[in-house]
Structure 1
Amino acid sequence: MDINQEVDRLSQIPMFSKMEASKLKLLAFTSKLVEYDDGDILFHADDPADSVYLVMEGQVEILVDSDNGSSSSIVRGEDSLIGEMAVISSQGRSASVRAKGPLTVLRIEDDVFLQLLTGNPEVALDVMRQLSDKLTEAHHANECLQHRLNALAKH
């Protein structure tokens, strides 16, 4: 994919649809397209948060291990932003992420991503909406698990 194709693809992603072409071109130029094979690890839990990943093609599986030894996973597809929470909070990764089939991502360095947020209120607002959706989803999953646990405790 050449830079113009990358810019065209980025302009189709809702988060970037209102950005000027020149800013999209700069984003494409300062980021890196990376391809992964099925099962390849993008990053591990507790790794430093040095970048975010935008899924361009394919799917990722987000793997979360709990303190009690159990694990769960969530699948995300095209146009999903991965790893933004750790970059925004300047903390290590909270989960591991691996490719679920062939995968192409745009790897955006942390400083570029943070500049993108501070310089583009529409993008920052969209990222906040996505984070809110993820927190709501996690809260709902936690409630479901709590109900299951309570049901098991009654038996």
Structure 2
Amino acid sequence: MNLNEEVELLKGVPIFSKVEQARLKLLAFTSERVNFGVGQEVCHQGDPGDTMYVILGGTADVLIDTPNGQITVAEMKRNSFFGEIAILCDVPRTATIKAKEPLATLKITKDMFYRLVAEFPEMAIEIMRELAHRLEDTNQKLRAATRAA
């Protein structure tokens, strides 16, 4: 995949949709393209995190450690992003991300992430929206589990 194709893919990611093309080109150029095979971990719950990832292709499972073993709590696909919580909160990874099928990602460093958020406040709003959606989804699942218990 060439730089222009990566820029086109990044335009489809909601958090980058309002970022100008020249900045997306810089992001694509300065970020690392990383591919993962089926079953390969992208990151592991509890590990330190200083990068976020954007899925360019494929799907991944979001796994949480429990006393009874890992459980899948979500699936992420093209245009999804993850790892932002470790960057924003300076906390260890909150989940394990494992490739469900061949996975193509763009790895974005903490410094680049903060530069983009500083230059494009719209990006921060989109990240907050996504985090709010994830929180509401988690709350719904928790309410359902509590009713079932």
Q: Distance in 1 between matches of 2:68 and 2:115?
A: 37
**Segments of 4+ moved more than 6 angstroms:** none
State the match for 1:33 in structure 2.
Answer: 33
Q: Shift in Å at residue 13 of structure 1? A: 2.4
Letter of the 2:147 counterpart: H
Shift of 1:114: 1.8
Cα distance in structure 1, aligned partners of 2:118 and 2:46: 26
- Residue pairs, 1:3-152, within 5 angstroms: 3-66=3-66, 68-73=67-72, 74-149=74-149
Amino acid at match of 1:62: V
Taking only the aligned residue pairs, the percentage that are identical comes to: 34
Q: Aligned partners of 2:95, 2:118: CA distance in 1, in Å?
A: 26
**Larger Rg over CA atoms:** 1
Further displaced range: 11-20 or 112-121: 11-20
Report Cα offsets for 1:50-75 as digits up to 9, x if no partner: 10010110111010013x33542111
CA distance in 2: counterparts of 1:19 and 1:146, whole angstroms:
41
- Secondary structure, counterpart of 1:79 in structure 2: coil
Residue 17 of structure 1 and its aligned partner are, at CA, apart by 1.9
Distance 2:95 2:68 in 1: 14
Q: Which amino acid aligns with 1:143?
A: R
Q: Aligned AA for 1:42?
A: V
CA distance in 2, matches of 1:100, 1:71: 15
TM-score (norm 2): 0.94
CA distance in structure 2 between the partners assigned to 1:71 and 1:141 by the alignment = 16
How many Å separate the matches in 2 of 1:5 and 1:135?
Answer: 32
SS of the residue corresponding to residue 111 of structure 2 reads helix
CA distance in 2, matches of 1:12, 1:61: 21
Give the match's secondary structure for 1:34.
strand
Report the alpha carbon displacement of residue 101 of structure 1 after superposing the two structures with TM. Answer: 0.7
Amino acid at match of 1:52: M
Kindly report the root-mean-square deviation, in angstroms, between the aligned alpha carbons of the 2 structures.
1.2
Could you list the runs of 5+ residues in structure 2 that have no partner in the other structure?
Answer: none
User: Runs of 5+ in structure 1 lacking a partner?
Assistant: 150-155
Q: TM-score, normalised by structure 1?
A: 0.90
Give CA-to-partner distance per residue, 1:59-106, whole Å, 9 cap, x none.
Answer: 11010013x335421111111111111111011001111000111011
